[in-house]
Structure 1
Amino acid sequence: MSRREGRIFPYNGRSVGTAFRRQCQDLKIEDLHFHDLRHEGTSRLFEAGFSIEQVALVTGHKDWKMLRRYTHLKPEALHTIRAPRAA
């Protein structure tokens, strides 16, 4: 199996990172890093009502302690979180 097989997005990580930095520079966005998107995505999954186990499947985190570090919920979003979904 090649390194690209099995990937959701079959792109080289370095190329994506370079493109992201260039776009931030072109748009004059300061202090935003590609890795920040992982924090944002993790939080939005929880706000959408996914369980810890479901979010961990997407993010690849092995334990709740590390996953919790990536979660930054907005207090106002807690009112709109739907009931947990079945796996």
Structure 2
Amino acid sequence: MQLKIVVYSKSACPQCDIVKNLLKAKNLAYEEIKIDDEEQRMAFYEKCGPSVRAMPQVFINEQRVGGVAGLQAAFAQLKL
């Protein structure tokens, strides 16, 4: 199964590093989009929905799975 994984992150973000390390450990390719500008990040959160207020945000096949816990749940669901 081909997965398109996009990680929205910011610099100096320990949770972002955890997500990237989890993906690397499973040899999963991903695209990283850094949003370091506060105004751009707030606009991104608005597009994601009212409950989104943190980085990273992971999307698999254009579906938002969330951060570290969401990625781990997606791994379990996809049996990765």
Structure number with the higher strand fraction is: 2
Considering only CA atoms, is the larger Rg found in Structure 1 or Structure 2? 1
